[in-house]
């Protein structure tokens, strides 16, 4: 290294501003939450479980409704057939002398 | 990463990084902002592979962000650039000769292109090899060496007393 390099090396640079360190450390702290997020956040898994339970209940209810609709339609068809048969019997009875 | 871990890394590297950024930008505000962003990004990042040389890794980030900052501010007019007051690059020394030399050195460094200034800084004040400098600045080691050589010629022209001055 020559003279200029040596002289340059001895020069001192200013330090970073004092408050920068504390700012960075503060930025690393978890930020205080507020409102709905604060209320929900303590137990996210519990809320996920509740949501899953709601989904299952909704699916069950939908499937039950579909089943009852099927049952109803079967019953209605049978009733119509029975009614038609009864009407036929009535017709035959009326047509008899 | 916790605040304590970040504080430890900051204490080890912040002075050197700030000096590098100050030399590149010659603006305390810009150097401060870039340093802040570098540490925040570092704290939030999850590197895919372990960082072997923390200083080199941080210098690489600082250099990249300083270049980005130069590009962003490229729209500033020359008049604005000229009117902007340059931050003192070196701490003042009680010895008057040192003060003169430090002022002359700051001006000479400022007159260098940024890419040469970066190489000079890493070589002289960080004592890095040209291979390390090349890796940090993403340039071949030979390019780093040439930039250093050209920069040193210019610095010597300004800072080294001429032969006739020595005689007098």
Is residue B62 a contact partner of residue B38, using CB atoms and an 8 Å limit?
yes
Return the number of other C-beta atoms located less than 10 Å from residue B134's C-beta. 19
Q: What is the C-alpha separation between A8 and A95, in angstroms, rounded? A: 127
The reported pLDDT for the residue numbered B168 is 44
| pTM exceeding the 0.80 threshold for the entire prediction | no
Q: Is A35 left (phi over 0), alpha (psi -120 to 50) or beta?
A: left
The reported pLDDT for the residue numbered B75 is 67
The reported pLDDT for the residue numbered A77 is 81
Shortest CA distance to B120 belongs to which of B142, B149, B98, B157?
B149
Please give the torsion angle defined by the CA atoms of residues B92, B93, B99 and B102, in that order, rounded to the nearest 10 degrees: -70
Is residue B86 a contact partner of residue B27, using CB atoms and an 8 Å limit?
yes
* Average pLDDT per 10 consecutive residues for chain B, totaling 168 residues: 85 95 92 93 80 88 91 66 68 71 91 94 95 93 96 92 56
CB contact under 8 A, B6 and A7: no
To test the contact with chain A by mutation, choose from B13, B19, B121, B149 the residue with the greatest count of A C-beta atoms within 10 A, namely: B19
The reported pLDDT for the residue numbered B20 is 96
* Average pLDDT per 10 consecutive residues for chain A, totaling 97 residues: 87 92 82 63 82 94 84 79 89 80
CB contact under 8 A, B10 and A3: no
The reported pLDDT for the residue numbered B167 is 45
CB contact under 8 A, A15 and B18: yes
Distance of residue A39 Cα from the nearest chain B Cα, in angstroms: 25
Backbone Cα Rg of chain A: 41
The values of phi and psi at residue A92, to 5°, are -65, -35
């Amino acid at each position: 290294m020559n003279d200029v390099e040596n002289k340059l090396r001895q020069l001192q640079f200013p330090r970073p501003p004092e408050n920068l360190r504390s700012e960075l450390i503060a930025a690393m702290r978890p930020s205080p939450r507020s409102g709905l997020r604060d209320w929900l956040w303590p137990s996210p898994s519990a809320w996920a479980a509740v949501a899953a339970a709601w989904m299952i209940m909704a699916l069950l209810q939908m499937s039950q409704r579909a089943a009852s609709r099927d049952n109803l339609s079967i019953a209605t068809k049978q009733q119509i057939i029975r009614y038609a048969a009864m009407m036929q019997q009535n017709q035959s009875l009326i047509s008899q002398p | 990463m916790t605040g304590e871990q970040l504080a430890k890394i900051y204490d080890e590297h912040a002075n050197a990084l700030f000096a590098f950024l100050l030399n590149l930008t010659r603006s305390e505000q810009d150097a401060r902002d870039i340093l802040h962003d570098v540490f925040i990004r570092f704290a939030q990042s999850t590197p895919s592979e372990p960082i072997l040389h923390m200083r080199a890794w941080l210098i690489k980030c600082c250099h990249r962000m300083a270049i980005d900052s130069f590009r962003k501010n490229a729209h500033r007019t020359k008049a604005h650039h000229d009117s902007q007051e340059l931050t003192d690059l070196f701490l003042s020394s009680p010895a008057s000769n040192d003060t003169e030399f430090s002022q002359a050195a700051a001006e000479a460094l400022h007159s260098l292109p940024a890419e040469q200034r970066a190489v000079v800084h890493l070589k002289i004040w960080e004592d890095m090899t040209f291979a390390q400098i090349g890796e940090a600045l993403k340039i071949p080691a030979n390019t780093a060496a040439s930039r250093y050589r050209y920069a040193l010629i210019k610095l010597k022209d300004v800072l080294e007393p001429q032969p006739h001055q020595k005689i007098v």
